[in-house]
Chains A and B, each alone.
Chain A
Amino acid sequence: AQTVTQSQPEMSVQEAETVTLSCTYDTSENNYYLFWYKQPPSRQMILVIRQEAYKQQNATENRFSVNFQKAAKSFSLKISDSQLGDTAMYFCAFLFMNRDDKIIFGKGTRLHILP
């Protein structure tokens, strides 16, 4: 079974700093997607960024970027110039490619951006 591990239950950084959230996963498959989702206090799940495993180039969305290391099965999220609105739970997630399946989530990292 595929597993997603987030080893940092909670983190705090000062506003405007850069923060990196870690994620590792385990799969024997070669084709898959990886995601980072944000869950603010409203509980709404918001897709932050997506990476296709066959792409070597790391995905970037404005202040959010990933460091995807396929051989190491590592998928970290970097948030640059952090803002108070980035305070939330962040979930790393996995989805098989070319297969009708469900998204598998890690346990999450609670991120606090301090003023």
Chain B
Amino acid sequence: NAGVMQNPRHLVRRRGQEARLRCSPMKGHSHVYWYRQLPEEGLKFMVYLQKENIIDESGMPKERFSAEFPKEGPSILRIQQVVRGDSAAYFCASSLSGTGVKGNTEAFFGQGTRLTVV
């Protein structure tokens, strides 16, 4: 009964490279949320996906960032041409159904990927 799995746990990229962060939700979960945590800050919402659909990307920068959650396989958060300001911990959470709907409040979090841009 694995929880939400994120990999890698730590990722170091040079400026200008691409970063790919993976999130495998809990078994049976079809809703995925990505958050970014800057040092000494709270979790800032980035994007909400269901299988093959982006539901809400209001928190994601318009440029260089993209996310997908294909029918098969993990959800991917992709950051192109990384800059130092992208250094942060990126968390993924999954839910059986949309959080807030029909009393569902259970969002299970992974342990995050710490991205360091050098």
| Interface set of A (CB-CB < 8 Å, partner B) | 4, 6, 9, 33, 35, 42-45, 47, 50, 91, 95-108
Contact = CB atoms under 8 A, between A and B. Distances in A.
Contact of B111 (A44, A100, A106): A44
Contacts of B97: 100
B78 to A, nearest CB: 20
Q: Which of B56, B99, B112, B114 has the most CB of A within 10 A?
A: B99
Contact of A96 (B44, B55, B100, B111): B100
Contacts of B40: 9, 108
B45 A102 contact: yes
13 contacts: A43-B111, A45-B109, A91-B43, A98-B100, A100-B98, A100-B99, A100-B101, A101-B99, A102-B45, A103-B33, A105-B42, A107-B41, A108-B42
A42 B111 CA distance: 8
Nearest to B102: A98
A8 B45 CA distance: 22
Nearest to A99: B100
B91 interface: yes
A61 to B, nearest CB: 14
Contacts of A100: 55, 97-101
Contacts of B100: 33, 95-101
A84 B20 CA distance: 36
A45 B42 contact: no
A6 B91 CA distance: 20
B11 to A, nearest CB: 14
A6 to B, nearest CB: 8
A43 B112 contact: yes
A108 B101 contact: no
A95 B101 CA distance: 10
Nearest to A102: B45
Given A95-B99, A101-B99, A102-B48, 17 more contacts: A6-B42, A33-B100, A43-B89, A43-B111, A91-B43, A98-B101, A99-B100, A100-B100, A101-B56, A102-B33, A102-B56, A103-B33, A104-B45, A105-B43, A105-B44, A107-B42, A108-B42
